[in-house]
Amino acid sequence: MIRAAVTISLVEEARKGPFVFHGDLEAGCQQAAELGFDAIELFAASGEMIRGLPLRQLLQRYGLQLAAVGTGAGMVVRKLQLCDADAARRAAAAEFIQGIMEAGAEFGSPAIIGSMQGRWDDVVPRDVATGYLQSALERLGQRAGELGTFLLYEPLNRYETNMCNTMAQGAELLRPLATRSVKLLADLFHMNIEETSLVAGLRDAGEFLGHIHFVDSTRQAAGRGHMVYEPLVEVLRDLQYSGYLSAEVFPLPDSRTAAEQTIRTFRRLYPV
């Protein structure tokens, strides 16, 4: 069964980021529950921060699951990334991700590697960077499997990374890994920029598809852009996708309206 999730960011530096709720975990959970979301996706500053939150109580009180935990704060706040030329900083990036992954795993939830993947450049050429990224995904994925969860790798548009921009590139990156505990996150916003066809892109992700950022062409709530969702729903049915559609969108015109618009579109596509 496909379930609906909504993002909550607790990272001050990401105030302007594409998250529906900002700064108040309980208020976000309360509204998510009120509107009928199944889960929240959390963007926090670190694993320690997650451990310090009353997350279990709040999820229980509001009858919600934790869909996933983001690691982007490692890049936004600490400028850490897995393709850094400096081995110590690469290790710090992996350690930061592992901290968030372990905190999320206590809820059975996967961690997301998006901006933390970094990029290749003149100092770290593409093949070297790809090797760094694959070996980090191998180790972190194996650890995720041991913890009973998985890891999500997210191809991003060309303005955010030069590693993988499409689902096909993402699948090619993951295929040689020994671990089967790394899956792809398909963010419809990035895909709308990079894929020739969204339907073909989802098919390229295929068996690797593990999570979806449910968003419109404008990076606003589903329904506030020109994305056509029906063909995507059909592919997801063919692929027997049973994960989350998670609203990683700007809080426009405001958080509540973005959440309402998301769930309205979700219910239109997946009537109860």
Asked if residue 43 lies in contact with residue 76, where contact means CB atoms within 8 angstroms, the answer is: no
Q: Is position 156 an interface residue for ligand LER (rule: CB under 6 A)?
A: yes
Whether the CA torsion 227, 229, 231, 232 is positive or negative: it is positive
Nearer CB in complex with ligand LER: 34/132: 132
Q: Is residue 187 a contact point for Mn ion (CB under 5 A)?
A: yes
Choice from 28, 72, 74, 141 touching ligand LER (CB under 6 A) = 72
CB-nearer residue toward Mn ion: 94 or 247: 247
How far apart are the C-alpha atoms of 114 and 161, rounded to whole Å? 9
**166 lines the binding site for ligand LER (CB under 6 A):** no
Is 187 an interacting residue with respect to ligand LER (CB under 6 A)? yes
How near is the Cβ of 186 to ligand LER at its closest, in Å?
11
Does 154 help bind ligand LER (rule: CB under 6 A)?
yes
Task: State which of residues 28, 47, 70, 170 lies at the interface with ligand LER (CB under 6 A).
Answer: 70
- Interaction between residue 219 and Mn ion (CB under 5 A): no
Contacts to Mn ion from residues 2-41, by CB under 5 A: none
Phi-psi category of residue 229: left, alpha or beta, with phi > 0 → left and psi -120 to 50 → alpha? alpha
Q: Which residues bind ligand LER (CB under 6 A)?
A: 70, 72, 114-115, 154, 156, 160, 187, 213, 248
